[in-house]
Amino acid sequence: MPIRQLPDHLVNQIAAGEVIERPASIVKELVENSLDAGARSIRIEVEQGGVRRIRVSDDGCGIERDELTLALSAHATSKIGSLDDLEGVATLGFRGEALPSIASVSRLRLASRISGADSGYEIDCEGGRQGQLRPAGLPQGTVVEVRDLFYNTPARRKFLRTERTEFGHIDDLVKRLALARMEVSLELVHNGRALRRLERAGDSQARVRRVAAVCGETFCEATIELDEHHAGMQLAGWIARPAFSRSQPDLQFFFVNGRLVRDRLAAHAVRQGFRDVLFHGRHPAFVLMLAIDPQRVDVNVHPQKHEVRFRDGRLVHDFLFSTIHRSLSGTRPGQAQTASDRTPETARPGGGAGPRAGQSSLGLGVAESVARYAQLAAGPTTGEDGRGELPPLGFAVAQIHGIFVLAENADGLVVVDMHAAHERVIYEQLKQAWHEDRVRAQRLLVPERIAVTEREVRALERHLEGLRQLGFELDLAGPESIVIRSVPALLARADSQQLVRDLLADLVELGASNRVDTIIDELLATIACHGSVRANRRLSIDEMNALLREMERTERADQCNHGRPTWVQLDRRALDRLFLRGQ
């Protein structure tokens, strides 16, 4: 077949294949156009899951009469005019592909009216063929109606799912848009029935209500609110406490300058922030909004703009990680919810039957057992008489089955898993000791040589000093090999070659590595697990109270090293309900 120029309608249909996967893709493009037009109110109407009809109307600035036909032409946009504009684009759309791509695979009507105009105008476009421009009565704003999606490409129509599935994708999209732009009211109508009506959220309470409408009340009750600034960036939003973890990553929203994106760097930072407080196989829940100079982020990476690329990805990663890690570190007993709030259906204590993570996964030698639990007791605690103000976890009253400690506090009854709680206390103490003396290195009796790539050598050269501070002594032995002479003392019995290979892979992929910290934390968790008080050990009241006080002083004491809750609160109301009091 000879080389030839493709006709415009075929070019648009090819572009539609990249941009328009399903009805939800059309809703996304049209709503983003409305948001870029400054709309404060957007109404979305769909029929039969969007396959038969999609109508998006807004109160934005509108489109000039003479620009309506141009808006349906390929690569026509008001968002950018030069390469400089593209490199710092702040709008959601900018390519000028959406409307002509949609019009090429559907029957589309575009109507708009600008402020101060006597009337609006509308134009039809069927399969990419434009009709005549004509007057239309409508208020200021724009209305786009799309009918019979893929009517002229039956092969693509066959790949659409059921009406329920397609509408589910649209509903999920509206939820994400509602979180991204809380200052805009959104209404979603399906088959003539209004299913979502979200008013503008102008203040903090209204924003929390909108988050609750999208993510659920229990999510809001279990969240920590964030608002941090660093190096020209702002991270705002909410992260759920580890007890609200999910079996699926279905409550994870990350926005960059109001755009929902998927970013491996950000996902890695969040996972690391939750690293040692989540139960095995669970996923964190969060709504995070990153504001950053548009010049520092490239959104022209993915046809549907789902992905971005940061100019300084390491800085963004560290900002996300440190903010989340610090916020979770600040949670101590006394700040948590009651048992009913802290353990929703998604994270009921004991709800997971998986293995106890981190107890034997490394295959490394375990250091001498830490001091026995009795050393926590620092003397008699305040007794029944003259207790004064009760501390957050109160005072111990009994021990049950050698496993649980019962304590009375101002809110009611506290139940503590003594092994899990003591495990977290020891773990945090060991981590602090490690970070204060982490430079201790162990020289290998016989240096080991490994083969590496040129990229890994370049990454190693940039980070030699940092690795030396971690206890590694690595020498270049040629363009494609290195020699390992020493490793951190705590990892002396680890597979040093595999450890260094993993480190280099991280340095190439992410520009840095926290693999050593991860492995050290797993080892310290193992030591803490073996050194903590065991079940069926009888404790005195003083020992129980000493544990409670240590928990109150320990970061992340709400979860053990494996993410299981260490304590629950049964308040007076919960106890009254158990005995039908007041009913």
Which pLDDT score, from 0 to 100, does residue 370 have?
35
Residues in contact with 82: Cβ distance below 8 Å, sequence separation at least 6, in sequence order: none
- 185, β-bridge pairs: 41
Closest CA to 420 of 279, 282, 518: 279
Distance CA 565, CA 563 (A): 7
Structural domain includes residue 361: no
**In terms of DSSP H, where are the helices of 470-514?**
496-510
Write the CATH number for 437: 3.30.1370.100
409 CB-side CA count, 13 A? 24
Number of folded domains in the chain?
3
Residues in contact with 159: Cβ distance below 8 Å, sequence separation at least 6, in sequence order: none
Cα angle value 327/333/337 (rounded, 5°): 85
Segment 483-514, tens digit of pLDDT: 999 988 767 777 889 888 888 887 887 666 66
Domain boundary residue among 141, 161, 196?
Answer: 196
Asked if 377 and 231 sit in the same domain, the reply is no
The amino acid sitting at 410 is A
Residues of the domain holding 91: 8-196
Which pLDDT score, from 0 to 100, does residue 351 have?
34
- 141, β-bridge pairs: 113
Which pLDDT score, from 0 to 100, does residue 256 have?
94
Domain boundary residue among 296, 311, 329?
Answer: 329
CB atoms within 10 A of CB 135: 12
Distance CA 31, CA 111 (A): 15
Would you give the DSSP letter of residue 435? H
Which pLDDT score, from 0 to 100, does residue 341 have?
40
Distance CA 496, CA 474 (A): 11
Asked if 536 and 399 sit in the same domain, the reply is yes
Asked if 481 and 574 sit in the same domain, the reply is yes
Q: Burial, 407: exposed, middle or buried (Cβ in 10 Å; 0-12, 13-18, 19+)? A: buried
Structural domain includes residue 419: yes
Structural domain includes residue 401: yes
Asked if 224 and 189 sit in the same domain, the reply is no
Structural domain includes residue 1: no
**In terms of DSSP H, where are the helices of 330-399?**
339-342
212 alpha-carbon distance from chain centroid? 17
Residues in contact with 94: Cβ distance below 8 Å, sequence separation at least 6, in sequence order: 77, 79, 80, 85, 86, 299, 300
Asked if 164 and 226 sit in the same domain, the reply is no
Asked if 420 and 464 sit in the same domain, the reply is yes
Distance CA 186, CA 182 (A): 9
Collapsed DSSP state (helix, strand, coil) of residue 466: helix
Asked if 296 and 431 sit in the same domain, the reply is no
The per-residue pLDDT of the chain, averaged, comes to: 83
Both tokens of 366, joined, read 């375990």
Which pLDDT score, from 0 to 100, does residue 437 have?
66
Q: Burial, 553: exposed, middle or buried (Cβ in 10 Å; 0-12, 13-18, 19+)? A: exposed
Cα angle value 147/46/208 (rounded, 5°): 145
Structural domain includes residue 410: yes
Q: Using an 8 Å Cβ cutoff, are 558 and 243 in contact? A: yes
Between the CA atoms of 49, 52, 58 and 60, what dihedral angle is there, to the nearest 10 degrees? 120
In angstroms, the Cα distances linking 306 to 13, 22, 28, 108, 452 are: 20, 15, 11, 25, 34
SS (H, E, C) 551-578: HHHCCCCCECCCCCECEEEEEHHHHHHH
Collapsed DSSP state (helix, strand, coil) of residue 465: helix
Structural domain includes residue 73: yes
Asked if 186 and 230 sit in the same domain, the reply is no
Distance CA 315, CA 319 (A): 6
pTM above the 0.85 mark?
no
Write the CATH number for 320: 3.30.230.10
Asked if 509 and 543 sit in the same domain, the reply is yes
Asked if 426 and 549 sit in the same domain, the reply is yes
Q: Which residues of the chain have pLDDT under 70?
A: 1, 9, 12-18, 80, 85-86, 93-96, 302-305, 330-388, 437-439, 490, 510-516, 519, 523, 527, 583
Asked if 263 and 298 sit in the same domain, the reply is yes
Which pLDDT score, from 0 to 100, does residue 483 have?
94
Which pLDDT score, from 0 to 100, does residue 388 have?
57
Closest CA to 554 of 562, 564, 546: 546
Segment 327-386, tens digit of pLDDT: 988 666 644 444 444 333 333 333 333 333 333 222 223 333 334 344 444 444 444 444
Domain boundary residue among 148, 163, 196?
Answer: 196
Q: Using an 8 Å Cβ cutoff, are 396 and 486 in contact? A: no
Structural domain includes residue 172: yes
Structural domain includes residue 342: no
Asked if 487 and 400 sit in the same domain, the reply is yes
Write the CATH number for 109: 3.30.565.10
* Helix%, strand%, coil% for the chain, nearest 5: 40, 25, 40
